[in-house]
Structure 1
Amino acid sequence: MAQEGSQSTMIWLFFSPSGRIGRRLYLLSWLYWACLTGFVISRLVANQGAELALASWTLALLVCVLASTVSTVLLTVKRLHDVGYPGKFVLCLFIPVISPVMFLALCLWPGMAERNAFGSPPGGTAG
């Protein structure tokens, strides 16, 4: 479990499997990665004629996709912790039919109000 003070950093949010996050932060984090990836794709399309720029934006896209995949898996682990499930259910994100259903459920399903095996609620109200 992460230290209480370290749960406010961006590194913890995007690249740590410990702790819990709420619905809003989960959705906003997914939207962040979608916007960043969309921006990189738009730059890739805009630079179709320039070989060096195209190669640079292609590399940026690969890095962005890798980072966003790792990050969204870890975000989902934390969200699963918030609703009381173990992180191994994150494997459902890789099943095409189940993935969108799971995403919507995690965006809509409220977390546990009390402390669970994965820590205090995201607001930190439970002791």
Structure 2
Amino acid sequence: MPANQMRWLFFGFSGRISRAAYFLAGLLMMIVVVFITYRLMLAEEAGTSGAAWEVALSAVLIASLWAQAALGAKRIHDLGKSGVFAALLFIPALNFIAFVALCLMPGEPGPNQYGQVTNAPA
């Protein structure tokens, strides 16, 4: 996948994405966060400075918040709704339910007001 396509997938808000792309991108973000958290815990257990891992974790968490909003907005666009509903992904009691729902609900077939096809910028 070209770099500009990856940048659009994780950081762009235009267009639509499929259920599979949404799930896999969310899974990748989770794996990266868990890996860096794991490395930070290993550094702390070893008694070494985990400052670099703390900085990396902070940067990844900020980037993942943005990416989660972008992925959610594009997935909601695929359902034909406004991306504003992606805010539900940031409500602690609803975020898991919203994530699962977005992974299961089929998008609108054919073009809609947010794009001609899924998995491509509008």
TM-score w.r.t. length of structure 2: 0.89
Q: Which residue of 1 aligns with 2:108?
A: 112
Q: Which residue of 1 aligns with 2:81?
A: 85
Deviations 1:22-44 (A, max 9, x none): 00000000000100011101110
- 5+ long unaligned stretches in structure 2: none
2:52 equivalent among 53, 56, 63: 56
Q: Which residue of 2 aligns with 1:27?
A: 23
2:98 equivalent among 99, 102, 109: 102
- 5+ long unaligned stretches in structure 1: 1-5
Q: Which residue of 1 aligns with 2:63?
A: 67
After TM superposition, give the deviation of residue 86 of structure 1 in Å.
0.2
**Percent pairwise identity:** 38
Aligned length: 116
Where do 4+ consecutive residues of structure 1 move more than 2 Å?
none
Q: Distance in 1 between matches of 2:87 and 2:99?
A: 12
On the 8 A contact 2:19/2:103 being kept in 1, the answer is: yes
3-state SS of 2:84 partner: helix
Residues 123 and 26 (structure 1 numbering): CA distance in 2 closer, same or farther, change over 3 Å?
A: closer
**Structure 2 residue identity aligned to 1:22:** S
On the 8 A contact 2:16/2:119 being kept in 1, the answer is: no
Q: Distance in 2 between matches of 1:47 and 1:14?
A: 29
TM-score w.r.t. length of structure 1: 0.86
Q: Distance in 1 between matches of 2:68 and 2:81?
A: 17
3-state SS of 1:44 partner: helix
- Larger relative CO (CA 8 A, sep 6+): 1 or 2? 2
